[in-house]
A and B are shown apart, each in its own frame.
Chain A
Amino acid sequence: AQKITQTQPGMFVQEKEAVTLDCTYDTSDPSYGLFWYKQPSSGEMIFLIYQGSYDQQNATEGRYSLNFQKARKSANLVISASQLGDSAMYFCAMREAGDNQGGKLIFGQGTELSVKP
């Protein structure tokens, strides 16, 4: 069965420093997609970044990059130059196997990131 594991329930980072949020996944499907979402205290789910299993390069979106290590089945989110507004819950998610349309996601339990001034 597919599974997403986020082993860090909570993390602290100093403002302006970089931080890595861990995500490991388990799937036997050769084609899959990995997502990261941010959920601030207001509750909305904000799409951050996407990595396809066949993408040759690691995805980047502004200060967010995804450290994709396929052999290790990890898809860690790296946030560079942390800002106070980055304090939030972060969820790693994977497209469900056989979901050709791409909207059925399996989510991890999340990591709560706190940025300290």
Chain B
Amino acid sequence: DSGVTQTPKHLITATGQRVTLRCSPRSGDLSVYWYQQSLDQGLQFLIQYYNGEERAKGNILERFSAQQFPDLHSELNLSSLELGDSALYFCASRDSRGLLYFGPGTRLLVL
């Protein structure tokens, strides 16, 4: 158990819909990273938050957004969903040594 929690574990929805994925970092970690793992693109960094502020953006679509709340949990919002958005979405937090620990992931299926 990495100490990073993610909900829900599975999500099935339809094209055009909007979903919210939730993540809580490890106790004491201030940063949250979101990654997407798809069959065609592999594992890709989406976005980083540190203590409530956005710090870095990767290959994140404009239809996707995220935020980190004062209690440090983070939400990734995916809207106008397309079939190609089906993937495993990971949240990770970074410890003081710079090591990245991943949550169990949310498996999203868009039908």
Residues of A within 8 A of B (CB): 33, 35, 37, 43-47, 50, 91, 93, 95-96, 99, 101-107, 109-110
Contact = CB atoms under 8 A, between A and B. Distances in A.
Interface of B: 2, 31, 33, 42-45, 48, 50, 55-56, 58, 88, 90, 92, 94, 97-105, 107
B94 A46 contact: no
Contact of B98 (A37, A93, A102, A106): A102
B42 A109 contact: yes
Given A43-B105, A103-B92, A106-B45, 11 more contacts: A43-B88, A44-B103, A44-B104, A44-B105, A45-B92, A99-B56, A101-B50, A101-B55, A105-B45, A107-B42, A109-B42
Nearest to B56: A104
B91 to A, nearest CB: 10
Contacts of B104: 43-44
Given A43-B88, A43-B105, A103 B43 contact: no
Contacts of A107: 42-44
A47 B33 CA distance: 15
B66 to A, nearest CB: 14
Contacts of B55: 101
Contacts of A47: 2, 99-102
A102 to B, nearest CB: 3
B102 A103 contact: no
